[in-house]
């Protein structure tokens, strides 16, 4: 088992005919992901990478049968609309890679999805991968290996960084989720921790956070109350100056809130093992797994 996606997951790609959408769709298919349909308005009837393209998501669902997951590469001005289009067809897991969506658009999306049972991952994220089964996103597949450590991160490239260190040490992953670097995201680290906590095939969780907001503190509250599995955490941005947005719209220290120090403190108090260096995510996880008799 795994969380969110597995080898049975039937995937739709919205924006499949775009440059990045196409490049990444090909890699998803190569990885073994079941891409069953694509959607680009006005390109219905074409085929991309052997996958039929539809004008609308509704048509894709009607023609190709049940779709479990949508992967969105639609450019920022139309991305919120694309998410809502997937939601209207009741696609259970919606993964939005797009970076740069206006916050107001995401506010409306979040409101629209509030009472649904749909899961939105992202936006501004690398997607989700269950190694050896299903890659729904943009991550370099070769660095991942199947195993029993769940990885959740706000940043995409830090997923690759952390996972690369794990894989080199022979530590595989159950599922890896990039939740996204925007201030408003569909699924928080806390919610992914809950999924991993309930997943019988995940033994330990690596959580990679960063400065800004209070998502890591919320995650810490959840860990303290519910998680018995070991949690290893790294927080990026210890050296970031206050008041400056560090690339991610959500990564900004405002006043005294959102500092790396306050997040590390909350996570340590909740029982997580803190990595001070981004170069030691792998070795720290290895040490904790040994201590707990998990490897």
Nearer to other proteins, 1 or 254 (CB): 254
CB of residue 9 vs other proteins: minimum separation in angstroms?
Answer: 20
Residue labelled with tokens 């992967």: 71
Residue labelled with tokens 């990679």: 208
Which residues of this chain interact with other proteins, rule CB under 8 A? Answer: 20, 24, 76-77, 97, 99-108, 110-112, 126, 138-140, 143, 153-158, 160-161, 164-165, 181, 183-184, 208, 210-211, 213-214, 218, 234, 236-241, 244-251, 254-256, 276-280
CA distances from 71 to 126, 240, 275 (A): 11, 32, 32
Ramachandran bin of 94, using left for φ above 0, alpha for ψ from -120 to 50, beta for the remaining angles: beta
Q: Is the dihedral of CA 98, 217, 281, 163 positive or negative?
A: negative
Nearer to other proteins, 43 or 108 (CB): 108
Return the SS3 of 241: coil
CB of residue 151 vs other proteins: minimum separation in angstroms?
Answer: 13
Nearer to other proteins, 203 or 210 (CB): 210
Cα–Cα nearest to 231, from 198, 267, 188: 267
Cβ atoms 205, 150 nearer than 8 A: yes
Residue labelled with tokens 């991305």: 79
CB of residue 255 vs other proteins: minimum separation in angstroms?
Answer: 4
- Which DSSP category does 143 fall into? G
Distance of CA 236 to the CA centre of its chain: 17
Nearer to other proteins, 61 or 206 (CB): 206
Cβ atoms 62, 39 nearer than 8 A: no
CB of residue 157 vs other proteins: minimum separation in angstroms?
Answer: 3
Residue in 248, 259, 264, 275 annotated catalytic: 248
Token pair, residue 114, equals 């509030």
Would you tell me the crossing angle of helices 103-113 and 76-88 to the nearest 10 degrees?
10
CB of residue 106 vs other proteins: minimum separation in angstroms?
Answer: 7
Nearer to other proteins, 243 or 293 (CB): 243
Active site residue 60: no
Catalytic residues: 248
């Amino acid at each position: 088992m795994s969380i969110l996606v597995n080898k049975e997951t039937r995937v739709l790609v919205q924006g499949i005919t775009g440059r990045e959408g196409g490049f990444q769709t090909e890699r998803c298919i190569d990885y073994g992901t079941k891409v069953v349909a694509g959607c680009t308005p006005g390109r219905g009837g074409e085929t991309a990478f052997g996958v039929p393209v539809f004008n609308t998501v509704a048509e894709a669902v009607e023609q190709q049968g049940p779709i479990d997951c949508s992967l969105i590469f639609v450019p920022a001005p139309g991305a919120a609309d694309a998410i809502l289009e997937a939601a209207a067809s009741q696609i259970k897991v919606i993964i939005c890679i797009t970076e740069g969506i206006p916050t107001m658009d995401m506010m409306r999306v979040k409101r629209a999805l509030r009472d649904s049972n749909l899961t939105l991952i992202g936006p501004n994220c690398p997607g989700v991968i269950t190694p050896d089964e299903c890659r729904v996103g943009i991550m370099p597949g070769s660095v991942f290996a199947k195993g029993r450590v769940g990885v959740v991160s706000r940043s995409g490239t830090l997923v690759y960084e952390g996972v690369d260190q794990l894989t080199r040490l022979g530590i595989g992953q159950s599922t890896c989720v990039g939740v996204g670097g925007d201030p408003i995201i569909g699924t928080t680290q806390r919610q992914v921790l809950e999924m991993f906590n309930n997943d019988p095939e995940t033994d330990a969780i690596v959580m990679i956070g960063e400065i800004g907001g209070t998502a890591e503190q919320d995650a810490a509250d959840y860990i303290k109350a519910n998680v018995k599995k070991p949690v290893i955490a790294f927080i990026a941005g210890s050296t970031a100056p206050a008041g400056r947005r560090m690339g991610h719209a959500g990564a900004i220290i405002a006043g005294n809130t959102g500092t790396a120090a306050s997040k590390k403190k909350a996570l340590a108090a909740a029982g997580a093992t803190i990595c001070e260096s981004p170069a030691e995510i792998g070795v720290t996880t290895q040490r904790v797994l040994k201590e707990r008799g998990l490897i």
